[in-house]
Amino acid sequence: MNTTLVKAFGTEAATADLKELNINRREVTATDIEIEILYCGVCHSDLHTARNDWGGTLYPSVPGHEIVGRVTKIGSEVTKLKVGDLAGVGCLVGSCSTCDSCKNDLEQYCSNGWVGTYNGADQYIGGHTFGGYSEKIVVDEHFVLTIPTNLNLAAVAPLLCAGITTWSPLKHWNVGKGSKVAVVGLGGLGHMAIKLAKGLGAEVTLFSRTLDKVQDAKDLGADTVIISTDENQMATVSGKFDLIIDTVPTIHDINPYVAALAVSGTLVLVGYLGPLDPFLNSVPMILGRKSVAGSLIGGIAETQEMLDFCGANNIVSEIEIIKMQDINEAYERMINSDVKYRFVIDMTTL
Ligand code: NAP
Ligand code: ZN
312 in any annotated domain: no
Q: Report the pLDDT value the prediction gives residue 235, as an integer from 0 to 100.
A: 98
Dihedral angle of Cα 186, 190, 196, 197, to the nearest 10 degrees: -80
C-alpha 337 – ligand 1 centre gap (Å): 8
Q: At 45, phi and psi to the nearest 5?
A: -65, -30
Residue range 170-194, pLDDT digits in tens? 999 999 999 999 999 999 999 999 9
Among all ligands shown, which has an atom nearest to the Cα of 187?
Answer: 1
**159/88 Cα distance (integer angstroms):** 10
C-alpha 249 – ligand 1 centre gap (Å): 4
Rounded to two decimals, the pTM is: 0.97
Going residue by residue through the chain (350 aa), what tens digit of pLDDT does each one get? Answer: 899 999 999 999 999 999 999 999 999 999 999 999 999 999 999 999 999 999 999 999 999 999 999 999 999 999 999 999 999 999 999 999 999 999 999 999 999 999 999 999 999 999 999 999 999 999 999 999 999 999 999 999 999 999 999 999 999 999 999 999 999 999 999 999 999 999 999 999 999 998 999 999 999 999 999 999 999 999 999 999 999 999 999 999 999 999 999 999 999 999 999 999 999 999 999 999 999 999 999 999 999 999 999 999 999 999 999 999 999 999 999 999 999 999 999 999 99
Closest residue by Cα to atom 44, ligand 1, is 45
Same domain, 35 and 65: yes
Residue 20: beta bridge partners? 9
- Total structural domains within the chain: 2
Closest residue by Cα to atom 13, ligand 1, is 248
Same domain, 67 and 96: yes
As to burial, measured by CB atoms within 10 angstroms (0-12 exposed, 13-18 middle, 19+ buried), residue 236 is: exposed
Dihedral (CA of 100, 102, 107, 110) sign: positive
Q: Which atom of ligand 1 is nearest to the CA of 250?
A: 18
Note whether 289 and 264 are within 8 A (CB): yes
- Helices 162-172 & 300-313, crossing angle to 10 degrees? 100
H helix or E strand, kind and range, residue 217:
helix 214-220
Collapsing DSSP to helix, strand or coil, 324 comes out as helix
300 in any annotated domain: no
Q: Other CB atoms closer than 10 Å to residue 26's CB: what's the count?
A: 16
Collapsing DSSP to helix, strand or coil, 294 comes out as strand
Per-residue burial over 191-213, b if 16 or more Cβ lie within 10 Å, else e, is bbbbbbbbbbebbbbbbbebeeb
Same domain, 131 and 174: no
Q: Other CB atoms closer than 10 Å to residue 4's CB: what's the count?
A: 13
340 in any annotated domain: yes
As to burial, measured by CB atoms within 10 angstroms (0-12 exposed, 13-18 middle, 19+ buried), residue 92 is: buried
**254/294 Cα distance (integer angstroms):** 13
**340/319 Cα distance (integer angstroms):** 6
Same domain, 67 and 104: yes
Same domain, 111 and 229: no
Same domain, 154 and 169: no
Q: Report the pLDDT value the prediction gives residue 317, as an integer from 0 to 100.
A: 98
311 in any annotated domain: no
Q: Which atom of ligand 1 is nearest to the CA of 341?
A: 2
Same domain, 115 and 197: no
Select from 78, 64, 65, 95 the least CA-distant residue to 34.
78
Note whether 132 and 42 are within 8 A (CB): no
As to burial, measured by CB atoms within 10 angstroms (0-12 exposed, 13-18 middle, 19+ buried), residue 82 is: exposed
CATH of the domain at 241: 3.40.50.720
Question: Ligand 1: residues within 6 Å at CB?
Answer: 43-45, 48, 161-162, 165, 185-190, 208-210, 213, 247-250, 252, 270-271, 295-297, 334, 337, 339
Range of the domain at 66: 3-160+319-349
Q: Report the pLDDT value the prediction gives residue 101, as an integer from 0 to 100.
A: 98
Same domain, 18 and 137: yes
Which residues are within 8 A (CB) of 94 and not within 5 positions of it... i.e. 6 or more apart?
114, 115, 120, 123, 140, 143
Number of residues written out for the chain: 350
Q: Which atom of ligand 1 is nearest to the CA of 334?
A: 3
**239/217 Cα distance (integer angstroms):** 22
Select from 224, 226, 187 the least CA-distant residue to 338.
187
Among all ligands shown, which has an atom nearest to the Cα of 248?
Answer: 1
Collapsing DSSP to helix, strand or coil, 191 comes out as helix
Residue range 300-310, pLDDT digits in tens? 999 999 999 99
